[in-house]
Each structure stands twice: as C-alpha cells, then as structure tokens.
Amino acid sequence: MGYNVDVAVITETHLKKKHADHLVAVDGYVMFCRDRVSRRGGGVAVYVNRSLSADVWTFPGDHAQFELLWVRVQDQQHITFVGALYHPPKPHYQAAAFLDYIEAGIDAVTASYPTATIVLAGDFNSLDDTEVATRGALLSIVDRPTRGNNILDRVYVNNPCYSTVRVVHSTVKSDHKAVVAYAGLVQVQPLNKHKYRRLFRRRSPAQHARFLDFASTLKIEFDNDDCAVEF
C-alpha cells in the first residue's frame, strides 16, 4: 500500500489451508496464494489491486511440488501474466526439473497469449540466473544484492516494460530486501528510512592543540590522604 503497487509478489508465506484468507487480507487488494504441500514453510502469494481484473491461470503441466503460481492480470487494454516463484535452498526436486517446469509454463502463456506481458518474480535462491533468462527468453532486471551480497530475489520480464527498478529495505522484519519496479520514471522513496539531525562537537587537530595547550596551564593536585581505594 505504501508504494502504491498494482501487484505484489510475496514468497515464503508459510500459509496453509487452515489459515483463513481474511487473516492476511490487505485493504484494496485481492490475494491469490499457492501453499507448499506436505512440508512446513514455503508458499507464495500475489496481491492484485482491486481496480484490475485478475484470476489464477493454470497450464496443463501444472505440478503441486513446484511453488510457482501464475496469475492473469487484465486492464482495459492489456494482459499481464505474473508468476510468483519460490525455490527453496534445499528442494525435494532437481533444479533442472524446475527449470523445465518454468520453461513449459512460459511457453504455454506465449502460445495462448502471444502479446501478453510476462513477469516472473520471487526468491530464486541458487537457481541459475542465466538458465532462467535463456530458457524463458526473459530479461533479468534486478542487478543489486537483495540478501547480503547475493541477488536471490529476482524479477524477469519478456519485454523491457519497467524503467525504474529499486532494491529497498523491507517494511517487515526480514533479512531480504524488497524489489520495487515501475513503468516510467518514478521517484521511489524508501518507506522505512528516517532522517535525524544531531548536534555534535566538531573535532579537529587545531582544536586538540588548543586543548593540550590549555591543559598544560592547569595545576591539578591529589591529596593521597583522601584516597579511599588503594592500588
């Protein structure tokens, strides 16, 4: 809401069927989610502004073991397919199989909607960046670290539709940063940065010299009889 985005992709939701949707609802947005099956953690979600028409799109080769959710978003003029992806550090599948799955999904979208915009975003962890981009004929638009010195959270597009891409500190407690992408030149102001003005005493070599010169004129005497502690 703070960045006024049309679509938000969330990874590692930890949501399960027992969690009611209204517990994680955001005013003005419709949520779509795909939970991890038979394991703790994981899961992805997509929040879409209510001003847009959106629904879950499932291609024929869909498989529950992969955490990839496709949401079809449509305005009056254009269709965008948003893929929310989470690839865990220790998956129960081969990375090559997931890459095949991603490629099959993109091919299915392209075959059915040749003019649609494709956005694939999420936490890719160790999934090879070049392989994802090459297999899907996509552009990788995140070029700054999102966790420590690593780029784990990525956004791929099938055309250069975003001219403003920023990596910002997350507004929630997380060791991952967030990626904000806009079409057009937009000034992105990080929400959780604060400016403070503090008064401090300026220090300089000349100031130190004056202090030492002043200290040399002082006569400081100690009366040993008044010492309460012996060393």
The stretches in the chain having pLDDT less than 70 are 192-194, 223-231
Q: Do 81 and 46 contact (CB within 8 A), yes or no?
A: no
Residue type at position 24: V
**Percentage of the chain exceeding pLDDT 70:** 93
**Interval 69-112: pLDDT, tens:** 999 999 888 999 999 999 999 999 999 999 999 999 999 999 99
Q: Do 134 and 152 contact (CB within 8 A), yes or no?
A: no
d(CA 78, CA 116): 7
For position 119, what pLDDT does the model report? 98
d(CA 171, CA 15): 19
For position 231, what pLDDT does the model report? 44
d(CA 210, CA 151): 51
For position 45, what pLDDT does the model report? 97
Question: Can you say whether residue 122 is alpha, beta or left, with left for phi > 0 and alpha for psi between -120 and 50 degrees?
Answer: left
Domain coordinates of the chain in residue numbers? 7-182
State pTM to two decimals: 0.79
- In CATH, the architecture of 7-182 is 4-Layer Sandwich (3.60)
